[in-house]
A and B are shown apart, each in its own frame.
Chain A
Amino acid sequence: MWEGITMGLTTVFTLQNAAFLMLGCLAGTFIGMLPGLGPMTAIALMIPVASTLEPGAGIIMMAAVYYGAIFGGSTSSILINAPGVASTVATSFDGFPMARAGFPGKALAIAATASFWGGILGALLLLIAAPYLARISLSFQSTDYFALMVLGLVTVSAFAGRDGMLKALAMVVLGLMLSTVGVDPTQGIPRFTLGQLDLVDGISFLLLVMATFALSEALLGIMRFSREQGLADGRALGALRLSRREIGDIAPAATRSSALGFLVGLLPGAGATIASLLAWGAEERLAGKAKPAFGEGAPRGIAAPEAANNAAATGSFVPLLTLGIPGSGTTAILLGALIAYGIQPGPLLYINEPEIFWSVIVSMWIGNVILLVLNLPLIPYIARLLAVPRQFLLPLILFFSLIGVYFVSFNTFDIQLMVIFAAAAVGLRLLDFPMAPMILGFILGGLMEENLSRAMLIYDQSWSFLWQRPLTLAIMITAMVILAGPFLRERFARRSPD
């Protein structure tokens, strides 16, 4: 392992790479801070820059963009209650009240420190878990991958709770349906292309994300817009420092949440959003009646989701690096960027390109340090961006989202497709249907069908692989238990009234 870390350090620690790391952190924070634009968008927008670099430098920069954007998202959650992405929604529960109470600087400092802690602990766990899993993952066959996808999809809906489960499942299926557009994986037959040449290659993931997240967010902002609406002013942020007592207060919560976040991040499909909401909920229950109450500006209410979402973001690198399965939207974008470099994450990455493998891990540490030491002091200046009046900001966000997709494909058809998806997403969001399960259905759907069709070909069109391979069977049983979990718990609770 130590050779690995040394290898990673020597790759990352060149002057040039350190510069890209800083540039990435800054750009990520900047983009992530814009309402509606999160890490996915930030990385996507940086892909053209990164593709002009060597793979090592490019990956380091994208990792920095990733962390920067997560932090930037927290900043806008805290300062203007406009979470850039779902994974920082939980941060706004306590962050915005604290900022409104006159301590925006402190709220930001808590968020930064907790993120740092979550990122560092997460990277440590990644360091321990990944090489081990990489060795096992060599024996994973298509049938096992198929079972893992089923597990991932089931997890998404299970976390939605009994009430939201039906909606979440419906959105998963919608995502799966969208993933079947384009050439089918077995015989190369175009499906659901409606005679459009532009749909033959399928719907791009980036496009779907930008339309259903960034565009729909901005459109909702436009439809709710009124000029009298209070806007973030450029008021002073206050001190960005934390006292030792405050650090002592949030440290246990941040540590617990990091571990929770990392574990959730490991599951394909769960990811940072669920991790941060779970961590906030868990800490709320632990805190009991402590003041200030959760939801009214509790420091731990900021620290828990921030630590959890960073640790989960790190955790989701485990399935990405070892199995090539993107566990979240952001890792799906990263996967695309890696493939563009000719790097195929998966069981062979550790064997073929250990320097990439290690430099990703090491750059996570460095990225977190840079974020805390260099980025945080710059926040007051970057935050001025948020004072831009909304009537300017909203059209600009629409423009950046559209052009971010256009500058990857250079096909104006994509813009029309985005308009359609954005309109549908606005409608569904107004009916309280969640977007995240749809995105996951879309990511995992393509992989699921690809692996299923391959398994069927290899096993001569028989479903026998489901019980012939013990690993596949074990994963499938786990998935069934998770799916049935909420119902079982309910029955159990009914039998033993306390």
Chain B
Amino acid sequence: MRTLLTALLLALAGTAAAAERLHFLIPGGAGGGWDRTARGVGQALTESGLVAQIRYENMSGGGGGRAIAHLIEVDNPHMWMVNSTPIVVRSLQSVFPQSFRDLTPIASIIGDYSVLAVQRDSDIRNLADFAARQRAAPRRMIIAGGSVPGGTDHIVAALLVKGVGNDPTTTKYIPYDAGGKAMAGLLSGEVQLLSSGFGEVVDMYEQGWVRLLCAASPERLARAPDVPTCNEAGAEDVVFVNWRGFFAPSGVDADLAAGYQTLLQEMRATPVWQAIRARNGWVDLYQPGEDFTRLLERQEQQIGTLMRELGLL
């Protein structure tokens, strides 16, 4: 009976047991950022022939916690979960009990550095200007962002205030429920600054609607070479990236994990992936295994310290 059912299952699945098969677990619903990343990567992997078949399973709930629990419970070495910076933030906030330490980080694949933007005709000329005004009248320096209080844009805003030597608890952050709405808020003049991922403001920047005070990247951004890094502009050590990457269950053996990393490495060179990446405006940030883990640890420490200072933990 069991074999019969198995045969039926395989018939239903269309292909006989393929050489390489992956199962992508997506912690959010169809169409979200996680969903698009997973399906984009999946499409590149299958169309370039690197993987025979990929199945996608969406599992939303609990701010991503349900999917993490599922990944751990099923413990299938061929199951990958897509995730991003919020896994660090939410595990610090104890939205779910697990953290990235309960999983095997495979690699980050794309990333978006944060920037601080003002309207084109704003009288805030540079970051030093912002520092002086913020110190003098913090209630008048309103920073908008597309994430909830305690989310990534808020954290970057507070990191910048702290980086220029002011008191991070005086940061006046106004949340919008999306980056685009925060940009509209900036242009309507109700806020003075915008903390956002570069990817979300790049179009408006290139059309000259906004100026960027600094980019929270280690080096200047290729698409905005005139914008100083925050470090150059006077905010020490403010580097922040919103990455997206993949995790496997913990205890995946080292060879398999290394194989997965090579897989993604090879995928990056394919024209399919480059087309998908360009279409979505994603910036390459491939950091495999150890590098990825270090990024996660650094981010956890950076965010944790700041959130405790802000009284958000």
Query: For B190, what are the chain A residues with a Cβ–Cβ distance below 8 Å?
Result: 141-143, 454, 458
Kindly state the separation between the CA atoms of A142 and B177 in the bound complex, as whole angstroms. Answer: 12
Given contacts A198-B62, A409-B58, A410-B58, contact A337 B31 (CB under 8 A): yes
Query: For B36, what are the chain A residues with a Cβ–Cβ distance below 8 Å?
Result: 340, 342
Contact B204 A348 (CB under 8 A): yes
Q: From residue 196 to 249 of chain A, which have CB atoms closer than 8 A to chain B?
A: 197-198, 200-201
Given contacts A138-B184, A139-B189, contact A185 B175 (CB under 8 A): yes
Contact A51 B181 (CB under 8 A): no
Kindly state the separation between the CA atoms of A61 and B60 in the bound complex, as whole angstroms. Answer: 26
Cβ-based interface call for A251 (8 A) = no
B128-147 contact mask (Cβ, 8 Å, vs A): 1 or 0: 00000000000100100000
Contact A411 B150 (CB under 8 A): no
Q: Kindly identify which residue among B172, B183, B189 contacts A348, using a CB–CB cutoff of 8 Å.
A: B183
Contact B57 A410 (CB under 8 A): yes
Interface SS, B side: mixed
Query: For B57, what are the chain A residues with a Cβ–Cβ distance below 8 Å?
Result: 410
Cβ-based interface call for A341 (8 A) = yes
Given contacts A138-B187, A185-B177, A460-B139, contact A352 B204 (CB under 8 A): yes
Contact B180 A454 (CB under 8 A): no
Kindly state the separation between the CA atoms of A324 and B207 in the bound complex, as whole angstroms. Answer: 21
Contact B148 A188 (CB under 8 A): yes
Contact A346 B180 (CB under 8 A): yes
B58-76 contact mask (Cβ, 8 Å, vs A): 1 or 0: 1111110110000000000
Kindly state the separation between the CA atoms of A409 and B30 in the bound complex, as whole angstroms. Answer: 7
Q: Kindly identify which residue among B32, B61, B187, B188 contacts A198, using a CB–CB cutoff of 8 Å.
A: B61
Contact A200 B62 (CB under 8 A): yes
How many A residues touch B, CB cutoff 8 Å? 44
Q: Which chain A residue has the least Cβ–Cβ distance from B67? A: A410
A343 → chain B closest CB, angstroms: 8
How many B residues touch A, CB cutoff 8 Å? 46
Query: For A54, what are the chain B residues with a Cβ–Cβ distance below 8 Å?
Result: 279
Q: Which chain B residue has the least Cβ–Cβ distance from A337? A: B31
Contact B31 A47 (CB under 8 A): yes
Most chain A beta-carbon contacts within 10 A, residue among B32, B60, B95: B60
Most chain B beta-carbon contacts within 10 A, residue among A48, A187, A198, A410: A410
Contact A347 B184 (CB under 8 A): yes
Q: Kindly identify which residue among B62, B172, B185, B203 contacts A142, using a CB–CB cutoff of 8 Å.
A: B185
A24 → chain B closest CB, angstroms: 17
Query: For A201, what are the chain B residues with a Cβ–Cβ distance below 8 Å?
Result: 60-61, 63
Most chain B beta-carbon contacts within 10 A, residue among A200, A454, A460: A454
Cβ-based interface call for A488 (8 A) = no
Contact A344 B181 (CB under 8 A): yes
Given contacts A458-B191, A460-B139, contact A346 B29 (CB under 8 A): no
Kindly state the separation between the CA atoms of A47 and B148 in the bound complex, as whole angstroms. Answer: 26
Cβ-based interface call for A420 (8 A) = no
Cβ-based interface call for B179 (8 A) = yes
Query: For B174, what are the chain A residues with a Cβ–Cβ distance below 8 Å?
Result: 454, 457-458
Q: Which chain A residue has the least Cβ–Cβ distance from B172? A: A457
Q: Which chain A residue has the least Cβ–Cβ distance from B281? A: A342
Cβ-based interface call for B149 (8 A) = yes
A194 → chain B closest CB, angstroms: 14
A458-476 contact mask (Cβ, 8 Å, vs B): 1 or 0: 1010000000000000000
Kindly state the separation between the CA atoms of A344 and B139 in the bound complex, as whole angstroms. Answer: 29
A145 → chain B closest CB, angstroms: 10
Cβ-based interface call for B176 (8 A) = yes
B151 → chain A closest CB, angstroms: 8
Cβ-based interface call for A391 (8 A) = no
Residues of B near any A CB (own CB < 8 A): 29-33, 35-36, 39, 57-63, 65-66, 95, 139, 142, 148-150, 172, 174-181, 183-185, 187-191, 203-204, 207, 209, 279-280
In the A-B complex, list the 3 residue pairs whose CB atoms are closest, starting with the nearest.
Answer: A340-B31, A344-B180, A197-B62
